Chain A
Amino acid sequence: MNWQAIFPLLLFLIIIFAVGIWAGKYVKSTNSFLQEYFLGGRSLGGFVLAMTMVTTYGSASSFLSGPGTAYNQGLGWVLLSMSQLTTGYFVLMILGKKFAIVTRKYKAVTIVDFLKERYQSKWVVILSSASILLFLFSAMSAQWIGGSRLIQSLTGFSYMTALFIFSISVIVYVVIGGFRAVAITDTLQGVVMFLGTLVLLIALIIAGGGVPSIIADLAEENPNLITPFGSNGDLTPAYVSSFWVLVGVGVVALPQIAVRAMSYKNSKSMHRGILISTIVVGFIMLNMHLIGVFARPVMPGVEIGDTVMPLVAQQVLPNWLAGIILAAPMAAIMTTVNSLLLLVSSTIVKDIYLNYIEPQARESRVKGLSMWITGILGIIVIVMSLNPPDLIIWLNLFSMGGLEATFIWPIVMGLYWKKGNKYGAIASMLTGVSSYILFEYFYPQPFGMHSVVTSIILAFIAYVGFSLASGKSIAATTGR
Protein backbone atom coordinates (compact mmCIF):
# COMPACT_ATOMS: atom_id res chain seq x y z
CA MET A 1 0.00 0.00 0.00
CA ASN A 2 1.48 3.31 -1.02
CA TRP A 3 -0.08 5.92 1.23
CA GLN A 4 1.88 8.79 -0.24
CA ALA A 5 0.19 8.07 -3.56
CA ILE A 6 -3.20 7.34 -2.05
CA PHE A 7 -3.49 10.54 -0.09
CA PRO A 8 -3.31 13.02 -3.01
CA LEU A 9 -5.62 10.77 -4.96
CA LEU A 10 -8.12 10.80 -2.14
CA LEU A 11 -7.93 14.57 -1.82
CA PHE A 12 -8.50 14.80 -5.52
CA LEU A 13 -11.61 12.64 -5.38
CA ILE A 14 -13.06 14.65 -2.51
CA ILE A 15 -12.66 17.89 -4.44
CA ILE A 16 -14.27 16.32 -7.48
CA PHE A 17 -17.27 15.15 -5.48
CA ALA A 18 -17.67 18.62 -4.05
CA VAL A 19 -17.73 20.08 -7.55
CA GLY A 20 -20.32 17.53 -8.61
CA ILE A 21 -22.61 18.44 -5.74
CA TRP A 22 -22.14 22.16 -6.35
CA ALA A 23 -22.96 21.78 -10.06
CA GLY A 24 -25.91 19.61 -9.12
CA LYS A 25 -27.54 22.72 -7.66
CA TYR A 26 -27.66 24.29 -11.09
CA VAL A 27 -29.18 21.13 -12.48
CA LYS A 28 -31.87 21.20 -9.79
CA SER A 29 -32.80 24.83 -10.20
CA THR A 30 -32.63 25.20 -13.97
CA ASN A 31 -35.73 25.74 -16.02
CA SER A 32 -34.20 24.13 -19.07
CA PHE A 33 -32.90 20.78 -17.92
CA LEU A 34 -31.45 19.52 -21.22
CA GLN A 35 -29.49 22.71 -21.91
CA GLU A 36 -28.08 22.72 -18.39
CA TYR A 37 -27.34 19.03 -17.95
CA PHE A 38 -25.78 18.39 -21.34
CA LEU A 39 -24.37 21.83 -22.13
CA GLY A 40 -23.95 23.69 -18.84
CA GLY A 41 -26.54 26.25 -19.92
CA ARG A 42 -24.14 27.58 -22.61
CA SER A 43 -22.42 29.70 -20.03
CA LEU A 44 -18.74 28.75 -20.18
CA GLY A 45 -16.18 31.52 -19.91
CA GLY A 46 -12.91 31.52 -21.83
CA PHE A 47 -10.72 29.82 -19.27
CA VAL A 48 -13.09 26.97 -18.48
CA LEU A 49 -13.85 26.55 -22.18
CA ALA A 50 -10.16 26.23 -23.02
CA MET A 51 -9.45 23.80 -20.19
CA THR A 52 -12.37 21.52 -20.93
CA MET A 53 -11.43 21.37 -24.62
CA VAL A 54 -7.81 20.56 -23.92
CA THR A 55 -8.41 18.00 -21.20
CA THR A 56 -11.20 16.21 -23.01
CA TYR A 57 -8.87 15.84 -25.93
CA GLY A 58 -5.69 14.89 -24.07
CA SER A 59 -6.46 11.44 -22.81
CA ALA A 60 -4.91 8.25 -21.57
CA SER A 61 -3.38 7.64 -24.95
CA SER A 62 -1.54 10.92 -24.92
CA PHE A 63 -0.69 10.88 -21.25
CA LEU A 64 0.64 7.39 -20.75
CA SER A 65 1.24 5.87 -24.15
CA GLY A 66 2.47 9.19 -25.56
CA PRO A 67 5.47 9.58 -23.24
CA GLY A 68 6.01 5.82 -23.48
CA THR A 69 6.27 5.97 -27.26
CA ALA A 70 8.48 9.06 -27.04
CA TYR A 71 10.73 7.09 -24.71
CA ASN A 72 11.23 4.51 -27.43
CA GLN A 73 11.20 6.76 -30.50
CA GLY A 74 13.04 9.85 -29.29
CA LEU A 75 12.53 13.43 -30.44
CA GLY A 76 10.77 12.32 -33.65
CA TRP A 77 7.73 11.42 -31.57
CA VAL A 78 7.75 14.79 -29.83
CA LEU A 79 7.73 16.36 -33.28
CA LEU A 80 4.73 14.24 -34.22
CA SER A 81 2.93 15.14 -31.02
CA MET A 82 3.33 18.84 -31.68
CA SER A 83 0.85 18.53 -34.56
CA GLN A 84 -1.68 18.61 -31.73
CA LEU A 85 -0.97 22.27 -31.12
CA THR A 86 -3.46 22.83 -33.94
CA THR A 87 -6.36 21.54 -31.86
CA GLY A 88 -5.90 24.49 -29.52
CA TYR A 89 -7.07 27.07 -32.05
CA PHE A 90 -8.43 25.23 -35.08
CA VAL A 91 -11.58 23.72 -33.60
CA LEU A 92 -12.85 26.96 -32.12
CA MET A 93 -11.90 28.96 -35.19
CA ILE A 94 -13.30 26.67 -37.85
CA LEU A 95 -16.61 25.87 -36.19
CA GLY A 96 -16.40 29.31 -34.79
CA LYS A 97 -19.16 31.78 -34.20
CA LYS A 98 -21.26 30.42 -37.02
CA PHE A 99 -21.62 27.14 -35.19
CA ALA A 100 -22.42 28.96 -31.95
CA ILE A 101 -25.08 31.09 -33.62
CA VAL A 102 -26.67 28.33 -35.66
CA THR A 103 -26.84 25.84 -32.79
CA ARG A 104 -28.47 28.48 -30.62
CA LYS A 105 -31.13 29.03 -33.25
CA TYR A 106 -31.67 25.30 -33.59
CA LYS A 107 -31.64 24.99 -29.80
CA ALA A 108 -29.27 22.10 -30.42
CA VAL A 109 -27.71 20.47 -27.39
CA THR A 110 -25.77 17.71 -29.14
CA ILE A 111 -23.96 17.28 -32.44
CA VAL A 112 -26.70 14.94 -33.57
CA ASP A 113 -29.24 17.69 -32.80
CA PHE A 114 -27.33 20.01 -35.07
CA LEU A 115 -27.14 17.43 -37.86
CA LYS A 116 -30.83 16.60 -37.46
CA GLU A 117 -31.90 20.22 -37.88
CA ARG A 118 -29.45 20.87 -40.66
CA TYR A 119 -30.29 17.86 -42.79
CA GLN A 120 -33.84 17.05 -41.65
CA SER A 121 -33.24 13.37 -42.12
CA LYS A 122 -34.01 10.42 -39.93
CA TRP A 123 -31.16 8.44 -41.46
CA VAL A 124 -28.61 11.09 -40.65
CA VAL A 125 -29.75 10.93 -37.03
CA ILE A 126 -29.65 7.15 -36.90
CA LEU A 127 -26.26 6.85 -38.56
CA SER A 128 -24.66 9.54 -36.47
CA SER A 129 -26.09 8.24 -33.21
CA ALA A 130 -24.96 4.74 -34.07
CA SER A 131 -21.40 5.77 -34.81
CA ILE A 132 -21.20 7.83 -31.64
CA LEU A 133 -22.41 4.92 -29.57
CA LEU A 134 -20.11 2.44 -31.26
CA PHE A 135 -16.91 4.44 -31.34
CA LEU A 136 -17.20 6.46 -28.20
CA PHE A 137 -18.23 3.47 -26.21
CA SER A 138 -15.08 1.65 -27.22
CA ALA A 139 -12.98 4.74 -26.61
CA MET A 140 -14.55 5.13 -23.22
CA SER A 141 -13.86 1.52 -22.25
CA ALA A 142 -10.24 1.86 -23.27
CA GLN A 143 -9.84 4.97 -21.18
CA TRP A 144 -11.68 3.42 -18.31
CA ILE A 145 -9.29 0.50 -18.27
CA GLY A 146 -6.38 2.96 -18.44
CA GLY A 147 -7.70 4.79 -15.41
CA SER A 148 -8.12 1.64 -13.38
CA ARG A 149 -4.68 0.34 -14.36
CA LEU A 150 -3.16 3.62 -13.27
CA ILE A 151 -4.81 3.52 -9.85
CA GLN A 152 -3.72 -0.07 -9.59
CA SER A 153 -0.07 0.75 -10.31
CA LEU A 154 -0.03 3.80 -8.06
CA THR A 155 -1.72 2.40 -5.01
CA GLY A 156 -1.01 -1.30 -5.14
CA PHE A 157 -4.74 -2.10 -4.97
CA SER A 158 -6.03 -5.00 -7.03
CA TYR A 159 -7.42 -4.23 -10.50
CA MET A 160 -10.95 -4.88 -9.26
CA THR A 161 -10.63 -2.45 -6.37
CA ALA A 162 -8.99 0.13 -8.60
CA LEU A 163 -11.73 -0.22 -11.19
CA PHE A 164 -14.34 0.19 -8.49
CA ILE A 165 -12.76 3.35 -7.04
CA PHE A 166 -12.30 4.91 -10.45
CA SER A 167 -15.80 4.07 -11.63
CA ILE A 168 -17.67 5.25 -8.58
CA SER A 169 -15.83 8.54 -8.50
CA VAL A 170 -16.48 9.31 -12.16
CA ILE A 171 -20.05 8.11 -12.30
CA VAL A 172 -21.24 9.92 -9.21
CA TYR A 173 -20.19 13.41 -10.18
CA VAL A 174 -21.19 13.10 -13.81
CA VAL A 175 -24.62 11.78 -12.91
CA ILE A 176 -25.46 14.50 -10.44
CA GLY A 177 -23.60 17.44 -11.92
CA GLY A 178 -23.86 17.01 -15.69
CA PHE A 179 -21.85 19.12 -18.10
CA ARG A 180 -21.13 21.91 -15.66
CA ALA A 181 -19.50 19.49 -13.21
CA VAL A 182 -17.52 17.99 -16.06
CA ALA A 183 -16.27 21.38 -17.26
CA ILE A 184 -15.27 22.62 -13.81
CA THR A 185 -13.45 19.43 -12.86
CA ASP A 186 -11.77 19.50 -16.27
CA THR A 187 -10.47 22.93 -15.41
CA LEU A 188 -9.05 21.89 -12.06
CA GLN A 189 -7.49 18.82 -13.56
CA GLY A 190 -6.10 20.80 -16.47
CA VAL A 191 -4.24 22.97 -13.99
CA VAL A 192 -2.85 19.84 -12.33
CA MET A 193 -1.70 18.51 -15.72
CA PHE A 194 -0.11 21.82 -16.66
CA LEU A 195 1.87 22.21 -13.43
CA GLY A 196 2.50 18.50 -13.03
CA THR A 197 4.21 18.06 -16.38
CA LEU A 198 6.25 21.23 -15.79
CA VAL A 199 7.54 20.16 -12.38
CA LEU A 200 8.35 16.68 -13.59
CA LEU A 201 10.19 17.95 -16.66
CA ILE A 202 12.33 20.31 -14.59
CA ALA A 203 13.12 17.61 -12.04
CA LEU A 204 14.04 15.27 -14.85
CA ILE A 205 16.37 17.77 -16.50
CA ILE A 206 18.14 18.30 -13.19
CA ALA A 207 18.39 14.55 -12.59
CA GLY A 208 19.81 14.08 -16.09
CA GLY A 209 22.50 16.74 -15.59
CA GLY A 210 21.02 19.39 -17.91
CA VAL A 211 19.62 19.32 -21.43
CA PRO A 212 22.96 19.15 -23.33
CA SER A 213 24.12 16.17 -21.33
CA ILE A 214 20.77 14.36 -21.78
CA ILE A 215 20.87 14.93 -25.54
CA ALA A 216 24.50 13.78 -25.66
CA ASP A 217 23.56 10.59 -23.79
CA LEU A 218 20.72 9.95 -26.21
CA ALA A 219 22.94 10.51 -29.26
CA GLU A 220 25.53 8.19 -27.82
CA GLU A 221 23.02 5.42 -27.28
CA ASN A 222 21.41 5.77 -30.70
CA PRO A 223 21.89 8.88 -32.87
CA ASN A 224 18.45 8.29 -34.43
CA LEU A 225 16.85 9.29 -31.13
CA ILE A 226 17.72 12.93 -31.74
CA THR A 227 16.63 12.96 -35.40
CA PRO A 228 13.06 13.54 -36.60
CA PHE A 229 12.93 9.99 -37.96
CA GLY A 230 12.45 7.79 -34.90
CA SER A 231 14.74 5.21 -33.34
CA ASN A 232 14.74 2.93 -36.38
CA GLY A 233 14.53 5.75 -38.89
CA ASP A 234 11.06 4.60 -39.95
CA LEU A 235 9.02 7.70 -39.08
CA THR A 236 8.74 9.14 -42.58
CA PRO A 237 7.79 12.78 -43.14
CA ALA A 238 4.59 11.67 -44.90
CA TYR A 239 3.54 9.45 -42.01
CA VAL A 240 4.34 12.01 -39.35
CA SER A 241 2.63 14.77 -41.33
CA SER A 242 -0.54 12.70 -41.68
CA PHE A 243 -0.98 13.04 -37.94
CA TRP A 244 -1.84 16.66 -38.64
CA VAL A 245 -5.10 15.24 -39.90
CA LEU A 246 -5.66 12.55 -37.25
CA VAL A 247 -4.75 14.45 -34.11
CA GLY A 248 -4.78 17.97 -35.57
CA VAL A 249 -7.45 19.36 -37.87
CA GLY A 250 -9.57 16.18 -37.82
CA VAL A 251 -10.28 16.70 -34.14
CA VAL A 252 -12.88 19.27 -35.16
CA ALA A 253 -15.14 16.33 -36.01
CA LEU A 254 -14.95 14.55 -32.68
CA PRO A 255 -18.41 14.94 -31.14
CA GLN A 256 -17.05 15.30 -27.61
CA ILE A 257 -14.91 18.22 -28.80
CA ALA A 258 -17.34 19.81 -31.24
CA VAL A 259 -20.09 19.91 -28.62
CA ARG A 260 -17.87 22.18 -26.55
CA ALA A 261 -17.79 24.65 -29.41
CA MET A 262 -21.45 25.38 -28.68
CA SER A 263 -21.09 25.74 -24.94
CA TYR A 264 -19.45 29.15 -24.57
CA LYS A 265 -21.16 32.22 -23.36
CA ASN A 266 -20.15 34.92 -25.84
CA SER A 267 -17.59 36.05 -28.41
CA LYS A 268 -15.21 37.23 -25.74
CA SER A 269 -15.08 33.85 -24.05
CA MET A 270 -14.40 32.29 -27.43
CA HIS A 271 -11.48 34.64 -28.13
CA ARG A 272 -9.95 34.02 -24.74
CA GLY A 273 -10.63 30.31 -25.08
CA ILE A 274 -8.66 30.12 -28.33
CA LEU A 275 -5.58 31.76 -26.89
CA ILE A 276 -5.61 29.86 -23.61
CA SER A 277 -6.26 26.47 -25.15
CA THR A 278 -3.43 26.93 -27.66
CA ILE A 279 -1.01 27.77 -24.88
CA VAL A 280 -2.17 24.96 -22.63
CA VAL A 281 -2.34 22.21 -25.23
CA GLY A 282 1.06 23.10 -26.69
CA PHE A 283 2.67 23.34 -23.28
CA ILE A 284 1.27 20.06 -21.99
CA MET A 285 2.05 18.13 -25.18
CA LEU A 286 5.59 19.45 -25.42
CA ASN A 287 6.42 18.85 -21.76
CA MET A 288 4.79 15.49 -21.56
CA HIS A 289 6.53 14.00 -24.58
CA LEU A 290 9.86 15.57 -23.68
CA ILE A 291 9.49 13.85 -20.31
CA GLY A 292 9.24 10.56 -22.21
CA VAL A 293 12.40 11.23 -24.22
CA PHE A 294 14.46 12.68 -21.36
CA ALA A 295 13.50 9.78 -19.12
CA ARG A 296 15.52 7.43 -21.32
CA PRO A 297 19.05 8.32 -20.18
CA VAL A 298 17.92 8.92 -16.60
CA MET A 299 16.14 5.60 -16.31
CA PRO A 300 17.14 3.18 -19.06
CA GLY A 301 15.54 -0.16 -19.71
CA VAL A 302 11.85 0.45 -19.05
CA GLU A 303 10.02 -2.23 -21.01
CA ILE A 304 6.35 -1.30 -20.84
CA GLY A 305 5.95 2.14 -22.39
CA ASP A 306 2.85 3.07 -20.40
CA THR A 307 4.78 2.84 -17.14
CA VAL A 308 7.54 5.32 -18.06
CA MET A 309 5.77 8.35 -16.66
CA PRO A 310 4.75 6.84 -13.28
CA LEU A 311 8.16 5.19 -12.81
CA VAL A 312 10.21 8.24 -13.67
CA ALA A 313 8.11 10.46 -11.43
CA GLN A 314 8.74 8.13 -8.52
CA GLN A 315 12.46 8.08 -9.27
CA VAL A 316 13.22 11.79 -9.66
CA LEU A 317 10.73 13.34 -7.24
CA PRO A 318 10.24 13.03 -3.49
CA ASN A 319 7.42 10.57 -2.82
CA TRP A 320 4.77 13.03 -1.72
CA LEU A 321 5.36 15.21 -4.77
CA ALA A 322 5.28 12.22 -7.11
CA GLY A 323 1.89 11.38 -5.65
CA ILE A 324 0.57 14.80 -6.54
CA ILE A 325 2.16 14.80 -10.00
CA LEU A 326 0.74 11.41 -10.80
CA ALA A 327 -2.68 12.79 -10.21
CA ALA A 328 -2.07 14.43 -13.61
CA PRO A 329 -2.43 11.37 -15.84
CA MET A 330 -5.26 10.32 -13.58
CA ALA A 331 -6.83 13.69 -14.28
CA ALA A 332 -6.27 13.28 -18.00
CA ILE A 333 -8.14 10.02 -18.05
CA MET A 334 -10.97 11.17 -15.85
CA THR A 335 -11.57 14.29 -17.87
CA THR A 336 -11.86 12.30 -21.06
CA VAL A 337 -14.01 9.61 -19.57
CA ASN A 338 -16.45 12.00 -17.94
CA SER A 339 -17.06 13.81 -21.23
CA LEU A 340 -17.53 10.60 -23.14
CA LEU A 341 -19.93 9.26 -20.55
CA LEU A 342 -22.05 12.37 -20.74
CA LEU A 343 -21.96 12.44 -24.52
CA VAL A 344 -23.01 8.84 -24.94
CA SER A 345 -25.79 9.43 -22.44
CA SER A 346 -26.96 12.55 -24.28
CA THR A 347 -27.01 10.57 -27.52
CA ILE A 348 -29.31 7.99 -26.02
CA VAL A 349 -31.60 10.39 -24.19
CA LYS A 350 -31.76 13.35 -26.52
CA ASP A 351 -31.06 11.88 -29.92
CA ILE A 352 -32.74 8.51 -29.70
CA TYR A 353 -35.28 8.54 -26.88
CA LEU A 354 -36.69 12.04 -27.35
CA ASN A 355 -36.63 11.76 -31.13
CA TYR A 356 -38.20 8.40 -31.65
CA ILE A 357 -39.55 6.88 -28.48
CA GLU A 358 -41.29 9.58 -26.49
CA PRO A 359 -41.03 13.02 -28.11
CA GLN A 360 -43.46 14.62 -25.66
CA ALA A 361 -41.75 13.43 -22.50
CA ARG A 362 -42.21 15.74 -19.54
CA GLU A 363 -39.24 17.64 -18.10
CA SER A 364 -39.19 15.67 -14.88
CA ARG A 365 -39.22 12.40 -16.80
CA VAL A 366 -36.33 13.53 -19.03
CA LYS A 367 -34.42 14.50 -15.94
CA GLY A 368 -34.84 11.16 -14.23
CA LEU A 369 -34.11 9.33 -17.43
CA SER A 370 -30.92 11.27 -18.15
CA MET A 371 -29.48 10.55 -14.75
CA TRP A 372 -30.48 6.89 -14.83
CA ILE A 373 -29.05 6.34 -18.28
CA THR A 374 -25.79 8.04 -17.36
CA GLY A 375 -25.55 5.79 -14.31
CA ILE A 376 -26.45 2.58 -16.15
CA LEU A 377 -23.97 3.33 -18.94
CA GLY A 378 -21.28 3.69 -16.33
CA ILE A 379 -22.13 0.27 -14.95
CA ILE A 380 -22.04 -1.31 -18.42
CA VAL A 381 -18.57 0.11 -18.95
CA ILE A 382 -17.42 -1.34 -15.63
CA VAL A 383 -18.61 -4.77 -16.68
CA MET A 384 -16.78 -4.44 -19.99
CA SER A 385 -13.63 -3.34 -18.20
CA LEU A 386 -13.54 -6.46 -16.06
CA ASN A 387 -11.97 -8.38 -18.88
CA PRO A 388 -9.81 -5.71 -20.43
CA PRO A 389 -8.05 -5.89 -23.79
CA ASP A 390 -4.47 -4.54 -24.14
CA LEU A 391 -2.97 -1.57 -25.93
CA ILE A 392 -4.93 1.51 -25.06
CA ILE A 393 -3.50 3.67 -27.78
CA TRP A 394 -4.65 1.65 -30.77
CA LEU A 395 -8.19 1.13 -29.60
CA ASN A 396 -8.39 4.78 -28.90
CA LEU A 397 -6.87 5.90 -32.20
CA PHE A 398 -9.19 3.59 -34.07
CA SER A 399 -12.24 5.25 -32.62
CA MET A 400 -10.77 8.68 -33.22
CA GLY A 401 -10.20 8.09 -36.93
CA GLY A 402 -13.60 6.45 -37.31
CA LEU A 403 -15.43 9.39 -35.78
CA GLU A 404 -13.45 11.91 -37.78
CA ALA A 405 -14.13 10.14 -41.07
CA THR A 406 -17.83 9.97 -40.16
CA PHE A 407 -18.47 13.47 -38.97
CA ILE A 408 -16.01 15.89 -40.45
CA TRP A 409 -17.84 16.79 -43.65
CA PRO A 410 -21.43 16.58 -42.43
CA ILE A 411 -20.47 19.06 -39.70
CA VAL A 412 -18.06 21.39 -41.50
CA MET A 413 -19.67 21.39 -44.93
CA GLY A 414 -23.11 21.41 -43.35
CA LEU A 415 -22.12 24.63 -41.68
CA TYR A 416 -20.47 26.40 -44.59
CA TRP A 417 -21.81 24.93 -47.83
CA LYS A 418 -25.46 25.54 -48.39
CA LYS A 419 -25.74 23.05 -51.24
CA GLY A 420 -24.78 20.20 -48.93
CA ASN A 421 -27.80 17.98 -48.28
CA LYS A 422 -28.84 14.81 -46.54
CA TYR A 423 -27.82 12.56 -49.42
CA GLY A 424 -24.33 14.00 -49.32
CA ALA A 425 -24.21 13.66 -45.54
CA ILE A 426 -25.37 10.04 -45.50
CA ALA A 427 -23.01 9.08 -48.34
CA SER A 428 -20.13 10.85 -46.64
CA MET A 429 -20.71 9.13 -43.30
CA LEU A 430 -21.00 5.69 -44.83
CA THR A 431 -18.01 6.17 -47.11
CA GLY A 432 -15.88 7.66 -44.38
CA VAL A 433 -16.43 5.04 -41.76
CA SER A 434 -16.45 1.99 -44.00
CA SER A 435 -13.38 3.02 -45.95
CA TYR A 436 -11.57 3.75 -42.71
CA ILE A 437 -12.30 0.33 -41.30
CA LEU A 438 -11.37 -1.37 -44.58
CA PHE A 439 -8.11 0.55 -44.85
CA GLU A 440 -7.20 -0.19 -41.25
CA TYR A 441 -7.74 -3.89 -41.78
CA PHE A 442 -6.44 -4.47 -45.27
CA TYR A 443 -4.22 -1.61 -46.28
CA PRO A 444 -2.95 0.44 -43.35
CA GLN A 445 -0.94 3.50 -44.29
CA PRO A 446 -1.96 4.04 -47.91
CA PHE A 447 0.64 6.29 -49.60
CA GLY A 448 2.69 6.08 -46.42
CA MET A 449 0.10 8.07 -44.47
CA HIS A 450 -2.29 7.23 -41.67
CA SER A 451 -5.40 5.74 -43.26
CA VAL A 452 -7.64 8.45 -41.82
CA VAL A 453 -6.31 10.81 -44.50
CA THR A 454 -7.52 8.76 -47.44
CA SER A 455 -10.85 8.07 -45.75
CA ILE A 456 -11.45 11.75 -45.14
CA ILE A 457 -10.66 12.52 -48.77
CA LEU A 458 -13.05 9.80 -49.96
CA ALA A 459 -15.72 11.08 -47.57
CA PHE A 460 -15.30 14.56 -49.02
CA ILE A 461 -15.77 13.31 -52.57
CA ALA A 462 -18.87 11.41 -51.46
CA TYR A 463 -20.31 14.46 -49.71
CA VAL A 464 -19.85 16.83 -52.61
CA GLY A 465 -20.71 14.25 -55.26
CA PHE A 466 -23.96 13.08 -53.72
CA SER A 467 -25.04 16.58 -52.70
CA LEU A 468 -24.63 17.87 -56.24
CA ALA A 469 -25.97 14.76 -57.96
CA SER A 470 -29.12 14.62 -55.88
CA GLY A 471 -29.66 18.05 -57.29
CA LYS A 472 -32.52 19.34 -55.27
CA SER A 473 -30.74 21.58 -52.90
CA ILE A 474 -32.40 21.80 -49.55
CA ALA A 475 -30.72 25.15 -49.21
CA ALA A 476 -34.10 26.71 -49.89
CA THR A 477 -35.16 25.74 -46.41
CA THR A 478 -31.96 25.78 -44.46
CA GLY A 479 -30.34 28.61 -46.27
CA ARG A 480 -31.59 31.59 -48.13
Chain B
Amino acid sequence: MDKPDINQDDYRFKIANREALIGIGLVLFNFVWWYGFAYGLGTKDPSDYTYVLGLPSWFFYSCVLGFIVMIILIAVVLKLFFIDIPLEDDEEI
Protein backbone atom coordinates (compact mmCIF):
# COMPACT_ATOMS: atom_id res chain seq x y z
CA MET B 1 0.00 0.00 0.00
CA ASP B 2 1.29 3.44 -0.84
CA LYS B 3 1.80 5.79 1.98
CA PRO B 4 -0.11 9.03 1.94
CA ASP B 5 2.18 11.91 1.36
CA ILE B 6 2.96 13.83 4.53
CA ASN B 7 4.67 17.09 3.86
CA GLN B 8 6.56 17.98 7.03
CA ASP B 9 6.93 21.57 5.83
CA ASP B 10 3.18 22.03 5.94
CA TYR B 11 2.70 25.38 7.71
CA ARG B 12 0.11 23.78 9.96
CA PHE B 13 2.68 21.50 11.56
CA LYS B 14 4.71 24.45 12.84
CA ILE B 15 1.61 25.67 14.62
CA ALA B 16 0.80 22.19 15.90
CA ASN B 17 4.35 21.66 17.20
CA ARG B 18 4.28 24.93 19.06
CA GLU B 19 0.96 24.08 20.65
CA ALA B 20 2.31 20.72 21.79
CA LEU B 21 5.24 22.49 23.45
CA ILE B 22 2.82 24.84 25.19
CA GLY B 23 1.07 21.72 26.52
CA ILE B 24 4.33 20.48 28.03
CA GLY B 25 4.97 23.90 29.55
CA LEU B 26 1.54 23.91 31.17
CA VAL B 27 2.06 20.48 32.71
CA LEU B 28 5.40 21.54 34.16
CA PHE B 29 3.86 24.68 35.64
CA ASN B 30 0.93 22.66 36.98
CA PHE B 31 3.27 20.16 38.61
CA VAL B 32 5.48 22.78 40.24
CA TRP B 33 2.48 24.62 41.64
CA TRP B 34 0.90 21.41 42.93
CA TYR B 35 4.11 20.05 44.43
CA GLY B 36 5.35 23.35 45.83
CA PHE B 37 2.25 24.22 47.81
CA ALA B 38 1.44 20.67 48.91
CA TYR B 39 4.83 19.78 50.30
CA GLY B 40 6.00 23.32 50.97
CA LEU B 41 3.10 24.12 53.29
CA GLY B 42 2.13 20.58 54.24
CA THR B 43 5.45 19.31 55.58
CA LYS B 44 5.09 20.27 59.20
CA ASP B 45 3.23 19.20 62.27
CA PRO B 46 -0.52 19.26 61.56
CA SER B 47 -1.08 21.28 64.75
CA ASP B 48 0.85 24.16 63.10
CA TYR B 49 -1.34 24.18 59.98
CA THR B 50 -3.15 27.30 58.90
CA TYR B 51 -6.54 27.06 57.26
CA VAL B 52 -8.30 28.67 54.31
CA LEU B 53 -12.06 28.19 54.00
CA GLY B 54 -11.80 25.43 56.57
CA LEU B 55 -9.29 23.43 54.53
CA PRO B 56 -5.62 23.07 55.48
CA SER B 57 -3.85 25.79 53.53
CA TRP B 58 -1.47 23.37 51.74
CA PHE B 59 -4.51 21.60 50.35
CA PHE B 60 -6.40 24.74 49.48
CA TYR B 61 -3.52 26.33 47.56
CA SER B 62 -2.31 23.15 45.89
CA CYS B 63 -5.54 21.45 44.89
CA VAL B 64 -8.35 24.03 44.96
CA LEU B 65 -6.60 27.25 43.95
CA GLY B 66 -4.23 25.30 41.68
CA PHE B 67 -7.24 23.93 39.80
CA ILE B 68 -8.74 27.38 39.35
CA VAL B 69 -5.42 28.87 38.27
CA MET B 70 -4.96 26.15 35.66
CA ILE B 71 -8.41 26.79 34.19
CA ILE B 72 -7.71 30.51 33.88
CA LEU B 73 -4.25 29.91 32.46
CA ILE B 74 -5.53 27.42 29.90
CA ALA B 75 -8.34 29.74 28.85
CA VAL B 76 -5.84 32.55 28.31
CA VAL B 77 -3.37 30.34 26.46
CA LEU B 78 -6.08 29.00 24.18
CA LYS B 79 -7.24 32.52 23.40
CA LEU B 80 -3.80 33.96 22.77
CA PHE B 81 -1.69 31.18 21.29
CA PHE B 82 -3.93 28.51 19.80
CA ILE B 83 -4.65 29.12 16.16
CA ASP B 84 -7.60 27.99 14.10
CA ILE B 85 -6.30 25.88 11.23
CA PRO B 86 -8.07 23.55 8.82
CA LEU B 87 -7.63 19.86 9.63
CA GLU B 88 -8.75 18.51 6.28
CA ASP B 89 -6.55 19.32 3.33
CA ASP B 90 -9.41 21.01 1.53
CA GLU B 91 -11.34 22.35 4.51
CA GLU B 92 -12.51 25.94 4.55
CA ILE B 93 -12.48 27.82 7.81
- Listed in ascending order, the chain A residues whose CB lies under 8 Å from chain B are 75, 78-79, 82-83, 85-86, 89-90, 93-98, 100-102, 104-107, 117, 120, 210-212, 214-215, 219, 223-224, 226-229, 237, 241, 244, 248-249, 266-268, 271, 274-275, 278-279, 282-283, 286, 416, 418, 477-480
Given pairs A267-B84, A275-B74, 20 additional interface contacts (CB within 8 A): A79-B34, A85-B66, A85-B70, A89-B26, A89-B74, A94-B23, A98-B20, A102-B6, A104-B88, A106-B4, A212-B54, A223-B47, A224-B46, A241-B31, A266-B87, A278-B71, A279-B71, A282-B70, A416-B20, A480-B9
Chain A residues, CB < 8 A from B23: 89-90, 93-94, 96
With beta carbons under 8 angstroms apart, the residue of A219, A224, A477 that contacts B3 is: A477
Chain A interface helix/strand/loop/mixed: helix
The 3 closest A-B pairs by CB, nearest first: A93-B23, A211-B54, A98-B16
Q: Which of A79, A106, A249, A478 contacts B62 (CB 8 A)?
A: A79
Nearest residue, chain B, Cβ from A265: B87
Least Cβ distance of B91 to chain A in Å?
A: 7
Q: A271 with B71: in contact, given A82-B66, A248-B27 (CB under 8 Å)? A: no
Q: Give min CB distance, B22 to chain A, whole Å.
A: 7
Q: Give 10 A-B contacts (CB < 8 Å), ordered by A residue.
A: A82-B63, A93-B23, A97-B15, A98-B16, A105-B89, A106-B4, A223-B45, A278-B74, A416-B20, A418-B8
Q: With A75-B56, A82-B67, A85-B70 in contact, do A93 and B22 touch (Cβ < 8 Å)?
A: yes
A contact residues around B38 at 8 Å (CB)? 79, 228
| Contact yes or no, A97 B12, CB < 8 A | yes
Tell whether, in the assembled complex, residue A94 and residue B78 are in contact, meaning their CB atoms are under 8 Å apart.
no
Q: How large is the interface on B (under 10, 10 to 19, 20 to 34, 35 or more residues)?
A: 35 or more
Render B30-65 as a binary contact track against A, CB cut-off 8 A, 1 for contact.
110011001100110111010101111011001110
Given contacts A223-B46, A267-B83, contact A211 B55 (CB under 8 A): yes
- Nearest-neighbour CB distance to chain B for A263, whole angstroms, equals 11
Nearest chain B residue, comparing its CB with the CB of A264: B87
Q: A106-B4, A266-B87 are in contact. Are A278 and B70 (CB under 8 A)?
A: yes
Docked-complex contact A120 and B74, CB < 8 angstroms:
no
Q: Could you say which residues of chain A place their CB within 8 Å of the CB of B10?
A: 101
Residue of B nearest to A252 (CB): B23
